[in-house]
Structure 1
Amino acid sequence: MNETLELLKNRRSFRDFDEEYVLPKEELQEILDAARQAPSWMNGQFYSIIVLQDKEIRKQLVEWNPGNPQILKSSVFLIFVADLYRTKMVSAAYESAYQIEESVESLLVATTDAALALENAVIAAESLDLGSVVVGSIRKHGKEISRLLNLPEMTVPLFGLSIGKPIVEMNVKPRLPQAAVIHFEHYQPYTYELIEQYDQTMELFGEARETKRWSQKFSDYFAADATMVTDQLLKMQGLLK
């Protein structure tokens, strides 16, 4: 197996970091450069990355996200933002209409671009013997974070990435059976037994932070009343009618 494949197949999330470790500027720049070279639809690059090293700003983020103390304890925290403000400037320069709120298409493209940049950053960090963990819960406080970071209209914070030197080794988490995820030529029906098998696999894996079976966790999640926080933020930022 070549080094790249080995790196990808052994990726893990790390949440315990050496708080005294200072990430060299050169390595941070390598990670950011790798993120910026991610694939992008039409080379639009519809995202921005906010680099947070300031302790006070990160303390505020932890106050809003107490379940993610690694935001402060890691060497750096990156926030990936769907950014359609840049192309609004382009439309203004050409004096053309900018009707992105008419459809979810532009937001979908921007989210995808940001996610691809995020994954490049994750793998770049791993290649430097660093650890990372993606933090999606920042969306719960997207309004506050947008104000804190002075995000302009047509932008929305999507997810964060803590990067640092791990102090606790983690095992590679099992994934769903291939037959439940990979389909050749067309979508292949499968039985619920595959999900039950995965429940058993994850119970044997025994991750301490998981308090429910995999299936129960998502049954509960999608049964709960929908939160409108993200919808409200998108409307506030001019991305949704």
Structure 2
Amino acid sequence: MNKTIELLSNRRSYRDFDENHVLSQESLQAILDAARQAPSWMNGQFYTIIVIRNREIREQLVEWNPGNAHMKKSSVFLLFVGDLHRTKLVSETYGSSYQIDDSIEPIILATTDAALALENAVVATESLGLGSVVVGSIRKHGKEIGELLELPEHMFPLFGLSIGRPIVEMKVKPRLPEAAVIHYDTYHPYSYSLIEQYDQTMELFGEARETKRWSQKFSDYFGAESQTLTDQLLKMQGLLK
């Protein structure tokens, strides 16, 4: 197994960081450079990365999202933002119309590009002997974050990344059985017993922060009343009608 595949296979999320560790500018720049080289649809690069080192801003983020105190305690917090403002400037320069809210496609493009950049940043961080954790729950306060960071129209916060030196070792989390995820040539139905098997695997793994079985967690999540905060933000930012 080569070093890159070994790194990817052993990736894990860290939530406890050395608050005194200072990330060098060289390391930060290497992570950002790697993120920016991620694949992108038509090389559109429909995202912006906001590097947040300011203590007060990070304290505000934690106040809104107290379950993720690492956003303040990590060495740096990166916010990945879907950016369709940049191409609006392009359209204005060319004097062309900007039909950005006619379809969900632009939102998918921006989200995908940002996610690819995020993953590159995660891998680069691990390669430097550091740890990270992705924060998707920032979308619950996307409106407030957009106002705090003065995001212009057609931009929307997607997820964040806390980066630092871990102080608590984490185990590699088991994934779903391969047969439930990987298919060759066509989709192949599989037995629900694979999901039951994964429930048992995760129970044995014993992650303290999990209070429900894997299957119950997502049954509850998708069975609850829909959250429309993201929809509201996208409409406010001129991205959905």
Please give the TM-score of this superposition, normalised by the length of structure 1.
Answer: 1.00
SS class of match (2:101)? helix
SS class of match (1:101)? coil
Q: Equivalents in 2 of 1:7, 1:238: separation in Å?
A: 40
Q: Equivalents in 1 of 2:98, 2:10: separation in Å?
A: 43
> Is it true that 1:87 corresponds to 2:87 in the alignment?
yes
Deviations 1:123-167 (A, max 9, x none): 000000000000000000000000000001000000000000000
Q: Equivalents in 2 of 1:188, 1:208: separation in Å?
A: 34
SS class of match (1:39)? coil
Task: Specify every segment of 5 or more residues in structure 2 that has no aligned partner in the other structure, as ranges.
Answer: none
SS class of match (1:146)? helix
Please give the residue correspondences for 1:88-127 in structure 2 after superposition, counting only pairs within 5 Å.
88-127=88-127
Q: Equivalents in 2 of 1:100, 1:6: separation in Å?
A: 41
Q: Equivalents in 2 of 1:78, 1:124: separation in Å?
A: 13
Deviations 1:47-68 (A, max 9, x none): 0000000100000000000000
Q: Equivalent residue for 1:172?
A: 172
Alignment RMSD, CA only?
0.3
Deviations 1:61-114 (A, max 9, x none): 000000000000000000000000000000000100100100000110110000
Q: Equivalent residue for 2:135?
A: 135
- The amino acid of 1:35's aligned partner reads A
> Is it true that 1:61 corresponds to 2:61 in the alignment?
yes
* Greater than 6 Å deviation, 4+ residue runs: none
Q: Equivalent residue for 2:236?
A: 236
Q: Equivalent residue for 1:29?
A: 29
SS class of match (2:23)? coil
- The amino acid of 1:233's aligned partner reads L
Q: Equivalents in 1 of 2:201, 2:83: separation in Å?
A: 39
Deviation at 1:233, TM superposition (A): 0.2
Q: Equivalents in 1 of 2:61, 2:5: separation in Å?
A: 34
Q: Equivalents in 2 of 1:123, 1:53: separation in Å?
A: 21
> Is it true that 1:192 corresponds to 2:192 in the alignment?
yes
Deviation at 1:191, TM superposition (A): 1.1
SS class of match (2:132)? strand
SS class of match (1:99)? coil
Q: Equivalent residue for 2:5?
A: 5
Deviations 1:167-219 (A, max 9, x none): 00000000000000001000010011000000000000000000000000000
SS class of match (1:211)? coil
SS class of match (1:109)? helix
Please give the TM-score of this superposition, normalised by the length of structure 2.
Answer: 1.00
Q: How many residues align?
A: 241
Please give the residue correspondences for 1:31-46 in structure 2 after superposition, counting only pairs within 5 Å.
31-46=31-46
Q: Equivalents in 1 of 2:153, 2:187: separation in Å?
A: 39
- The amino acid of 2:231's aligned partner reads D
Q: Equivalent residue for 1:144?
A: 144
